[in-house]
Amino acid sequence: MSEINLSGKKVLITGGAGFVGSNLTERAVKCGAEVTVLDDLFTGTLDNITKGINYKFVEGTVTDNDIVVKLVKEADYVAHLAARNIIVSTKNPRNDFEVNIGGTLNVLLAARDHGIDGMVYTSSASVYGNPRILPISEDEKPHTFSPYSVSKLAGENYCHAFFETYGVPVAMVRYSNIYGPKQNPQNPYCGVISKFIEAIDQGVSPQIHGDGRQTRDYTYIDDAVDATLMAMISPRAEGEVFNLGTGSETSVVELITILSKLFDKEIIPEHIDRRDIDNIRRRVLNIEKIRTRLRWQPQIGLDVGLKRTVAWFLNQKG
């Protein structure tokens, strides 16, 4: 991981008790930051943050403007991760709008009015829909196929507008299928990898929606956290949007094959119907922009990342 110095800096992390947020919280503390976490614990949990980590927790939501103003006013940097995820967003588009768009606007207004050294907004590769060209570059025209992708793109647009109009030093990163330790399979909104691991460990056939040939760019959590912090603090990132992935395309069937080797057992998945959110056929990101501008590139390949994730899951069982 890159050397990132946040010594003496105050960092506000919205959504800091979630899967990515908790990993980001711990990394920021280790980099010397005084971290405040704002989270409504809708999907996050304080159990995600390792005991002994020194941080301040505020239970609340980014839709509460008074709380947002107070916390942003105290911060040097802001990492804005708080959002309703794709499954929740599809079930309740109005709540998606209020949190993902309205909450982002609250954070940006507070950043504009009180001044910060840097901010990062976490978006999603889902804004691309089914792209024309692979790997997908940041110049690809967005195709928003879900309420979630609509709201994440709207957040990006607000970030661009606040950078251009008010000079808010904000960068945007588009996450692609982040996985790793702390992605709890008991959480109904977690990613496919942790659900597969739990099913295989229990001797249950993992369920694949559709034929399993759909591909994704799976990104290990440590790499994602590293890139997110770099985008937050780097002046070269301000006003820019970056793909955050690996540049490697993996099908769901290939994922099962790798996991079968790690568990040393034959795995026969169960194919079930596609869901309404399963509308992206292929995804792999071009990461040249973040590599050249921020000198970041992923360090953990899928084989190693899955091995670490499986080890964490088995360790959690005791």
Query: Catalytic residues, which ones?
Result: 148
CA distance 187 to 296: 30
> What Å distances lie between residue 206 and 78, 149, 193, 196, 265, CA to CA?
38, 27, 10, 5, 13
Report which secondary-structure segment, H or E, holds 66.
helix 65-73
Instruction: Quote the tokens at residue 166.
Output: 């008010």
Cα Rg of the chain, angstroms? 19
Do 49 and 25 contact (CB within 8 A), yes or no?
yes
Contact between 183 and 133 under an 8 Å Cβ cutoff? The reply is no
Measured CA to CA in angstroms, residue 212 lies from 180, 215, 278, 280, 317 at distances of 21, 8, 11, 12, 28
> Residue 246's closest CA among 189, 184, 182, 179?
179
In whole angstroms, give the CA distance from residue 137 to residue 141.
9
